[in-house]
Amino acid sequence: MKRNVFFLLVAATLLALSVAAYGHHSFAATYHQDKTVSIEGKLVQFSFRNPHSIVNVESTDPKTGKIRWTIEWAGSTQLAGSGVTNETLKYGDLVIITGNPGRNPDEHRIRLVTVKRSDGTFSWGTKAGETNDQ
């Protein structure tokens, strides 16, 4: 009986681990990690959540008009540790975002590296001695 319970616990643990591993994706498969783009626009949505927070920004392209970008950021737990809350960015904020572009340009996706408000009141992602200026 003890042996059956042990094997049941092992099986349940392996199942739980495999589901968690399946749910995570590779950034390298989704984004060009060797390229960087910068966009400026109006924040239209900020989803402060795990496993990744999502920022949606509307920018203007002279050729095609308005473009809505989906930007993948760190999870809320990691962001909270660096002082970011769900109130840090609000609808209508003008932001400048730099990051790795998605592999499919038609999807308008970016993996966030840095973000700052255009007025300079908030900045995230810089390291000591660096600036967000691109």
For residue 21, the model assigns a pLDDT of 47
Is 80 part of any domain?
yes
Distance of CA 109 to the CA centre of its chain: 10
Is 68 part of any domain?
yes
In whole angstroms, give the CA distance from residue 97 to residue 133: 10
Give counts: helices (H), strands (E), the chain: 3, 6
Is 134 part of any domain?
no
What is the extent of the structural domain holding 32? 27-124
37 Cβ partners below 8 Å, 6+ apart?
A: 98, 99, 100, 101, 110
**Look-up: residue for tokens 């050729």?**
63
In the structure encoding, which two tokens stand for residue 98, read together? Answer: 């730099």
For residue 26, the model assigns a pLDDT of 75
**CATH code of the domain covering residue 48:** 2.40.50.140
In whole angstroms, give the CA distance from residue 116 to residue 71: 13
For residue 29, the model assigns a pLDDT of 84
**Look-up: residue for tokens 């998605």?**
102
In whole angstroms, give the CA distance from residue 130 to residue 42: 24
Is 42 part of any domain?
yes
Three-class secondary structure of residue 88 per DSSP: coil
Q: Does residue 67 register a pLDDT over 80? A: yes
Is 20 part of any domain?
no
Q: Does residue 130 register a pLDDT over 90? A: no
| Total number of domains constituting the chain | 1
In whole angstroms, give the CA distance from residue 125 to residue 116: 9
Segment 7-57, tens digit of pLDDT? 667 666 666 555 444 455 677 888 999 999 999 999 999 999 999 999 999
Is 94 part of any domain?
yes
Is 110 part of any domain?
yes
Is 82 part of any domain?
yes
- Residue among 49, 45, 50, 54 at smallest CA distance from 99: 54
